[in-house]
Amino acid sequence: MPTSFTVVPVEAQGEERGPAERDGQRQEEEEDDERDRGSGDGIARESSPFINSAEMDRGNMYEGKNMALFEEEMDSNPMVSSLLNKLANYTNLTQGVVEHEADEDSKRKEVKVPRMGTFIGVYLPCLQNILGVILFLRLTWIVGTAGVLESFIIVFMCCACTMLTAISMSAIATNGVVPSGGSYYMISRSLGPEFGGAVGLCFYLGTTFAGAMYILGTIEILLTYISPSAAIFKAEEAGETEAMLNNMRIYGTCIIILMAIVVFVGVKYVNKLALVFLACVILSIIAIYAGVIKTAFDPPDFPICLLGNRTLSKRNFDVCAKFTESNNETKTTTLWNLFCDSSLLNATCDDYFSLNNVTEIQGIPGIMSGVLADNLWSTYSEKGSIVEKKDQPSVAGSEEIKMGGLPYVFTDIMTYFTMLVGIYFPSVTGIMAGSNRSGDLKDAQKSIPTGTILAISTTSFIYLSCIVLFGACIEGVILRDKFGEAVNGNLVVGTLAWPSPWVIVIGSFFSTCGAGLQSLTGAPRLLQAIARDGIVPFIQVFGHGKANGEPTWALLLTAGICEIGILIASLDSVAPILSMFFLMCYMFVNLACAVQTLLRTPNWRPRFKYYHWTLSFLGMSLCLALMFICSWYYALIAMLIAGCIYKYIEYRGAEKEWGDGIRGLSLNAARYALLRVEDGPPHTKNWRPQLLVLLNLDSEQLVKHPRLLSFTSQLKAGKGLTIVGSVLQGIFLDKCTETQKAEENVKALMGVEKTKGFCQIVVSPNFRDGISYLIQSAGLGGMKHNTVLMAWPQSWKQTENRFSWKNFVDTVRETTAAQQALLVAKNIDLFPTNQERFTEGNIDVWWIVHDGGMLMLLPFLLRQHKVWRKCKMRIFTVAQMDDNSIQMKKDLQMFLYHLRLNAEVEVVEMFENDISAFTYEKTLVMEQRSQMLKQMQLSKNEREREAQLIHDRNTASHSAPAVKASVAAAVPEKVQMTWTKEKFVAEKHKPKDSNVSGFKDIFNMKPNQSNVRRMHTAVKLNGVVLNKSQHAQLVLLNMPGPPKNRKGDENYMEFLEVLTEGLDRVLLVRGSGREVITIYS
């Protein structure tokens, strides 16, 4: 019923209509709403966090009024207003907190909006993660060993590396919403699941080993500086180093169990304590700066005892002198007893002790003392060497006596520049702390760049200033004294602090404890995030956890890996390991930014503008250089682990499409390569069959001959181009669903048959035209097919078969016109599957005419595959009466030798002889059938059906009288005609004599001599091939071309049928007219 509409303002609608009209309109609206909900365009609504179906349905009533033009689109796409409303309210849960997010969403009444700003959310967490154990325990030792200048270079390199990485990370983090998951999420979504999984697991391992390093640092502070008496293994029983390592292992294992229980029971307490741990770090740093200022006018009193220029450990003596004077009596000291065999003045003492004086100098002379000049240069040493003061006078003694028991300060490891880089680098890690909390920030796209870069700037200033200040305030021998033995076992940096060394000791103890707890909290969540993405199958079990989402299994694995680091027991050995994993992670963050910038993908629109691909590339190069500087063998091991994970994900992992940069890079590379190969056809040496495989589909869109794809994979072995094409008959708009289903089925079968290639389904009103479209347009640029592979139409005589003989012959003609080779597999269902193996047999090549060498090349390619590997290749060629068969065989053998092909050669002599009666009769029957159908003037379908009936009756006959009798019998019995009114009238008025005379002509006709000769060739050649190759595993034959006169197309099919009769597996080969194999290198 037509309805008139009046355009009025929305507010005035109610005023313009009367009550009755409004009621009728409302009823129509309700009916429209019901109809809209029940119908539509059949497209499912988008599954998106921004589209809520219930609200959409309620909103349709209003949207439909003002936007009627777009009502079809509204079934599947939201209005802009509703989309913006969803976007404004969109929030993000911290990854790993809720296991069943869908259930929780339904229970949650309102979503709590994140409130953390830049300072609390990014700056302080980064500060806490960057400043840590290395600053307190190793930085003074690094300054003393490498000197101020080289230490400055080490710190500057590492800080530059993290700053460049932070710039790249800021660009990625501000390019859209980054859920919690930090670097793993950024790398995986930017570089793809393979890189993301590999680097994510490396980052997880780095975080886990960082936990081990912090725990080792905690124990070192406890046993060396807080309570040395708590050691289980004493230095007197085993060597000092060995005792320390064993203590580390025992205490480390206990602490890791304790920490794992704390994390398991209540992670919220760890987060609440984070502020306490951060306060400890900041207070400790303030104490260091306060101590430096105090040294300017009141240096602390920390005397060092030197024997000659050698530093003495003050753990075992108090007085720094050989003897003391008391009451005019000279007494030897404890130090004397350590170097001499008795306390008497005439005792036998160590040679060096006797020759050199004992002196005492201030360990911390202060910032104004000028000690900086002495500490500028490096002092690297071997393991076990004595810490010596450079400019102190010394007399060398005989070194025959072992110095192991003497109270010198020894170096515990060999030192060199690259090793110090590996030990120092973990002190600049932790820059991802802000991006890991991106889900809890008020404005992540503003806070992450600002907070991270400010934190790195602050910590870089602290580190660089500390290097200069340590070098300017502390004596060099104290700096090189790793465990503070020369200052009564005090923490070296603690001696500088004000008001007391205990501020640093207690502060560093709690900060390392907190850092270890946070590593054990963060690492399992990272592993859980990777496991839940489903890209690494073997870790999926770690995606599960407690009901509230706590990653129990991941925590157990983390504690286990952490225990490996604890068993290594040396902080200096664990630090380079985690340096590798962090450096690899940072390297790929830089790579991700560089790739995205260079590709200029439309989606790459970061809010952070201060980045450039050269900076990212420089950061990536610096990371790689630092990896090999730290330890080349650790770097190779880390790369090997990452490579193995990458390949594992590539082969076994789930397929994920995240719009990553590597996919974009592949597209760019493909475009570049396609433009390069566009220039012209490949050289003969590079020629290989690039296949277009024409498949037949049944009514269910399933592939009729799956063995055709098996044969394709055997022929291609994953090399070159393969396009698998098929044609659906109809109109594309009506066949969309069938096309998708057909494509899915073909791709699934390609996966099963391991056929690597592309699928292309064409919808065409005419089946023959569809095949023509594929032959003409499949492929792109230089990546076009040069060979068509298809199955022989077994039922070509049946008129119901859409791929009839007419379509087949036209396809042969079109491949020839397109200068493409053609392969026709006859009896394709008898061909082997990819799982079969021929243990013996032959591949026989019947080389009748030279077609560019395709016949030679195909068996060679087939024998590369396991199915055909054990088959031997035999080549047969046919000699005519005038040919010298012996010379032909020699020439062919020489030709094969130059082609580097191994094959048996045989020349078959096929002399001209009389045409047999069977050949004559077979040709006659074939022509009679065609002529008879023309005479009967039936429709096309009826003519083909009649031809089949006559042919079936006659093929078994081998004598002329029998043939004639069966034809005569067939005509009156089997002719079936579909009569219409027009045909009936035409038949009624047709002269009857002409029909009768037509049939008489058929039975009195003589066959065409050209057809007789062709049939003679087919029969004779078939006999020769059967004789030699009946039991061959595969027979390759030259395929004769179709006749130029299209009237003989059906006869052509008959010739091919006769030619291949009696053979199991036949591949008819028709060359493209160009050489595809060469004798030249």
Residues 171-223: tens digit of each pLDDT: 988 887 766 566 677 777 777 788 888 888 888 888 899 999 999 999 999 98
Tokens of 14: 């109610």
Handedness of CA 955, 960, 961, 965 (dihedral sign): positive
Percent of the chain with pLDDT over 90: 18
Residues 6+ apart with CB under 8 A from 626: 157, 158, 161, 421, 425, 579, 583
Q: Rounded to an integer, what distance in angstroms lies between the CA atom of residue 171 and that of residue 448?
A: 10
Q: Which of 125-139, 168-182, 904-918 has the lowest mean pLDDT?
A: 904-918
Cα separation of 708 and 789, whole Å?
8
pLDDT at res. 1053:
79
pLDDT at 239 exceeding the cut of 90: no
Q: What share of the chain is helix, strand, coil (3-state, %, to 5)?
A: 60, 10, 35
Question: Which of 456, 459, 462 is CA-nearest to residue 619?
Answer: 456
DSSP string, 971-984: HHHH------HHHH
Of all helices (H) and strands (E), which one includes residue 572? Answer: helix 571-599
- Specify the DSSP class assigned to residue 464: H
- Look at residues 948, 91, 900, 2 and name the one whose alpha carbon lies nearest to residue 441: 91
Please tell me what DSSP assigns to residue 916.
P
pLDDT tens for 1042-1059 read 877 776 666 777 788 888
Q: Using pLDDT thresholds of 50, 70 and 90, give the confidence band for residue 92.
A: very low
- Token duo for residue 521: 């909290």
Distance, in Å, from the CA atom of 855 to the CA atom of 901, rounded to the nearest integer, reads 12
Sheet holding 310-311: strands in order across? 310-311, 303-307, 358-362
DSSP label at 349? B
Residue 265 pLDDT: 83
pLDDT value of position 919: 55
Each residue's pLDDT tens digit, 368-405: 888 899 899 999 988 888 888 888 888 877 654 556 66
Instruction: Specify the pLDDT at position 41.
Output: 41
Chain mean position to CA 158: 29
Distance between CA 87 and CA 316 in Å, rounded?
Answer: 70
Residue 630 sits at the vertex; the CA angle it makes with 629 and 631, to the nearest 5 degrees, is 95
Q: By the 8 A CB rule, do 589 and 165 touch?
A: yes
Quickly list H helices, 174-234. Answer: 182-191, 193-220
Q: What is this structure's pTM?
A: 0.70
Q: What is the pLDDT of residue 720?
A: 76
DSSP state for residue 116 in the 8-state scheme:
B
DSSP 444: H
DSSP symbols for 767-833: HHHHHHHHHHH-SBTTB--SEEEEE--TTTT-TT-SS-HHHHHHHHHHHHHTT-EEEEEETGGGSPP
Please say if the pLDDT value at position 153 is more than 90. Answer: yes
Mean pLDDT of 787-805: 73
pLDDT value at residue 938 = 47
d(CA 187, CA 303): 53
Given a cut of 60, whether residue 942 has pLDDT beyond it is no
Its sign, for the CA torsion 542, 546, 550, 553, is negative
